[in-house]
Amino acid sequence: MPPVTPTPWRGTKIADTMPPACPQHPPWMSPDEKLPWQRRAYLKRLEPVLANQSEDCLYLNLYVPKPPHGSIADSLPALLLIHGDSYSWGAGNSFDGTALAAHGRLIVVSINFRLGVLGFLKTGSKGSAQGNYGLMDLVAGLHWLRENLGAFGGDPERLALLGHGTGAALANFLAVSPMAKELIGRVILLGGSALSPWAVQRDPLMVKRRVAEEIGCPGDVEADDIASCLRLKSVEELLAVKLNPPRFTSGFAPFIDGAVLPATVNQPTASSSGLMPIVPGPGSEFADFGNRDLLFGLTSEEAWVNFTEQDIQNGFNETRRDRILRTYVRNTYRYHLHEIYSTLRNEYTDWERGEQSPVAICEGLLSLLGDGQVAAPLLRLALLHTASEGRGYFLHFQSGERPSQRGEEVPYLLGIPLLRGEVTSAPPTFGNYTLADENLSKLLVHYLANFVRRGDPNGASPLSSENGLTTSPPFWDSYDSINQLYLEAGHSPEMRSHYRGHKMSLWLNLLPQLHRPGYEINMRHHHLADGTNLYEGAVRPQSTAVPLPAPPLPMPSPTEPSSILTALSTTECTPNATVATTITPTTSRTLQHSNLGPGPNNLLRKLASSHYQSYTTALTVTIAVGVFLLLLNILIFAGIYHQRDRNVSGGSAFGNKKKEELLEAGCSGINTSGKQRLPASMNLMDSPSMLPPHKAKLVQELELQLQEFQCSPPPGGGKRILEPPSYSKSPCIQRTRTPSPCVDATIARMDEVSDVGVRHHDSEDENEELPEPPPPPKAPAPNVGLTCPGILRQPGTPGSAKKRVQIQEISV
């Protein structure tokens, strides 16, 4: 049940000893755990701290510095530490805040809260928010500090949160929770965030069902509340429940309830479906810190606790690497699993090496899991925070030559190396410390205290060097999406930019593009192959649920290109639409009412979804331009075709008449090589008998040419063959102007070819000075398709008549 206000006491309550830890099963109780030696050493030091357990465990530990001698101390800022080894084990007692409180002039507070089945089990029905009792314990602790910090010389308005690992995710949840965010001033996240894929339980009803089965609480899991049944069981029975969650995920973990944790944007809440969003982590609502300052940090190897000592020392082959990677992808993502698996495998393989050594393969997988589970989600949170004009500071801890490991930065920030040789309530986490470690810890304590006090880690407080002089620490610039500056905290601290830029671009840009549901009807498109030899560790069942439907189709304005799609949608929804007659009956029925339905088969909704909005706009514009150009081409073609029909029907008569007039005008003043010129008013065709014999013959030839002009041009506009003028064998003095068929003109030309010599002979008898006769005509080219051979140009051109007159002069 949720925490309640403690019973008041009379007099003074003695609180000078560590309180008991909350009930839990620490990992050393499992003999099958083959942990690295650093992890085993850490757990061995925690064993006496966690040995004392009780259900009466909701306590806070306060470390208050003494005021300076002879002065009135100002109110001090406070820092609440949230332990984060696991959601199922750990205690606030493991933190020693003595050095940080003394050197940083802070009130350091550690807190215990319920864990595992007692703290993060959804006990209510599907629509209930019962559960998340561990988070409620933390909220109750924040309220206690708001009410009582003043009694310890603290300032309740300057309360900051510091969480590590799963504690960082819890601190992140509290900073955005509507129940607690007004109680928090600043946030420090180390090695985790609410966006990590292990931070939340995406299927709390599955955990509830497993607990009910093992404990023996019958009933409908989705409808019944099992809290009353669980209260009848002993603590040992509850702690004995084994979930065996999918690897790289959390079993008992906070879940989205809509009360303590806000519902995700555009995703169903736990109260409606019981499922978390389909992405590996919540959305941007968990980066909504408002104007709160953020300090976040990590180490180089955040995933080393997932492997055994033998794996880290000896490495493993590619086959085992592929099994572990396949397990991680299947348990973290939901869509396009094979594409994501292939991308990660290719990116984290060192292709420059000819043969991959087992140690190198293990190092690559350690880097992959650390980036995917901690680094990339944490940087995504920071980028979202800075995008909303929030201020953040990024810390990468690197204490020595070897890569820093998960949790190694916590003792340095707490000032543990400054307590060398002193007896403390909680031993240091990592071994013995050197003078260089002490200086690094002093620097980090200085930064942390300034951040808690003012929201800015930089300050005027100098640090003492080895020779007694004072030195100023490096200026720690804020993190933003452009420069992406961060502090490399080591024995030689320095500012750098773009932490693992290429790898972070893969996680923050490429993988989100791959991990999109699409709108495939069959979810097997997104699945990885099943097989016991393909995975290492428990895997979740692959979902067969159809992806979520696309958002509603937006209503564009009439001037927007997408209005074409709107018009098409209206047409398809009309039962009597024309477009419905061109498709099959099944498709027609689907189109008639699919636009208003939520199903994933709606084509227009798919195209107008948020994923394909830009593609839809470009496609719409392209189609519109193409349709416009097609209509323009049709109109131009129709105009040309119509003009051609007019030329064929009426153009021949007009062209013949024009040519005849031009020919008559040209023949009215023919000059025959210096001979007498005829009067312009004399018509050659009216009275040929009045002319001299050679002139009469010319008139007859011109009349024959006029008959040829009356023939229509070839339909296809064929090329005319330039030939000498043809002459009739018998004089045509008595012919009229009525045009004769083209066949007669063709026969006349065939006769003229054989009579050329006769006409020349006649010309010589008339004692005329004539030029040399033209060469004999050539045979027409085959397949030319001429209707009336002998026409030099298309009818209707003035140059045609003029050319014929010149040829006639030469022939005469």
- The arithmetic mean of pLDDT across residues 570-596, rounded, is 34
Residue 700 above 90 pLDDT?
no
CA dihedral 459, 464, 469, 475 (to 10 degrees): -30
Max mean pLDDT among 123-137, 344-358, 619-633, 754-768 falls in 619-633
Q: Is the dihedral of CA 198, 199, 205, 211 positive or negative?
A: positive
pLDDT in the model for residue 29: 55
More confident residue, 140 or 555: 140
Judgement on whether residues 337 and 484 belong to the same structural domain of the protein: yes
Q: What is the CATH number of the domain that holds 69?
A: 3.40.50.1820
Contact 86, 198 (CB under 8 A): no
Q: Could you report the per-residue pLDDT of 217-253, keeping only the tens digit for each?
A: 887 877 888 898 999 999 999 999 988 899 999 999 9
- Torsion sign across C-alpha atoms 741, 747, 748, 753: positive
pLDDT in tens, 285-315: 888 888 899 999 999 999 888 888 888 888 8
Band (pLDDT 50/70/90 cuts) for residue 265 is low
Asked if residues 595 and 553 have their Cβ atoms less than 8 Å apart, the reply is yes
- pLDDT tens digits for range 169-194: 999 999 999 999 899 999 999 999 99
Q: What is the pLDDT of residue 270?
A: 34
**Residue 804's pLDDT is what?**
52
User: Does residue 577 belong to any structural domain of this protein?
Assistant: no
Lowest model confidence (mean pLDDT) among 32-41, 437-446, 470-479, 569-578: 569-578
Q: Classify residue 644: in a domain, yes or no.
A: no
Measuring CA to CA, how many Å separate 752 from each of 71, 294, 467, 784, 809?
Answer: 139, 108, 128, 21, 17
Question: Which residue is associated with the tokens 């980028």?
Answer: 383
268 lies in the same domain as 416: yes
Average pLDDT over residues 413-441: 74
Residues found in the chain: 812
CA 244 – CA 71 distance, rounded (Å): 57
Label residue 436 exposed, middle or buried (CB < 10 Å: 0-12, 13-18, 19+): middle
Q: DSSP letter string over 248-293?
A: TS-SS-----SSSSPPPTTS--TTTTS---SSSS--GGGG--TT--
Q: 3-state class of 63 per DSSP?
A: strand
- For residues 271 and 251, give the distance between their C-alpha atoms in angstroms, rounded to a whole number: 19
Angle at 654 between CA 651 and CA 656, to 5 degrees: 105
Instruction: Decide if 599 is inside a domain.
Output: no
Residue 729: pLDDT above 50?
Answer: no
Hey, which bits of 114-210 come out as E strands?
Answer: 154-164, 186-190
Query: pLDDT tier at 646 (50, 70, 90 boundaries)?
Result: confident
Q: Is residue 589 situated within a structural domain? A: no
In sequence order, which residues have a C-beta less than 8 Å from that of residue 269 and are 6 or more positions away? 256, 257, 258, 263
Evaluate whether 807 touches 754 at the Cβ level (below 8 Å).
no
Q: Which of the four pLDDT bands, split at 50, 70 and 90, describes residue 614?
A: low
| Same-domain pairing of 228 and 365 | yes
Report which of residues 164 and 463 the model is more confident about. 164
Q: CB-based burial of residue 702 (10 Å sphere; 0-12 exposed, 13-18 middle, 19+ buried)? A: buried
pLDDT interval class at 775 (50, 70, 90): low
pLDDT band at 30 (very low <50, low <70, confident <90, very high): low
Average pLDDT score, the chain: 74
- Structural domain includes residue 557: no
Tell me which of 534, 556, 584 is where a domain ends. Answer: 534
Per residue in 432-449, pLDDT tens? 788 888 999 999 999 999
Q: Quick one: pLDDT at residue 284?
A: 77
Q: What is the pLDDT of residue 597?
A: 36
Q: What pLDDT does 276 receive? A: 35
Helix axes 613-667, 563-573, angle to 10 degrees: 100
Burial of 696 (0-12, 13-18, 19+ CB in 10 A): middle
* Residue 515 phi, psi dihedral angles, 5° rounding: -85, 65
pLDDT of residue 681: 42
Domain end point (choices 534, 562, 582): 534
Domain-located, residue 479: yes
807 domain-assigned: yes
322: CB partners within 8 A, 6+ apart: 345
Task: Pick left, alpha or beta for residue 600 (phi over 0 → left; psi -120 to 50 → alpha; otherwise beta).
Answer: alpha
d(CA 90, CA 97): 16
φ, ψ of residue 470 in degrees (nearest 5): -105, 140
| 435 and 296 both lie in a single domain | yes
Q: Which residue has the higher pLDDT, 696 or 533?
A: 533
Whether residue 22 is contained in a domain is answered as no
Secondary structure element (H or E) that encloses residue 80, with its range: strand 76-82
pLDDT at 124: 84
Asked if residue 679 has pLDDT above 50, the reply is no
8-state DSSP, 458: -
**Whether residue 128 sits in one domain with residue 267:** yes
Residue where a domain stops, chosen among 517, 534, 551: 534
The whole domain housing 777 covers: 654-811
Q: Could you read off the pLDDT of 82-111 as tens digits, one per residue?
A: 999 899 999 999 999 999 999 999 999 999
How many domains are there within the chain?
2
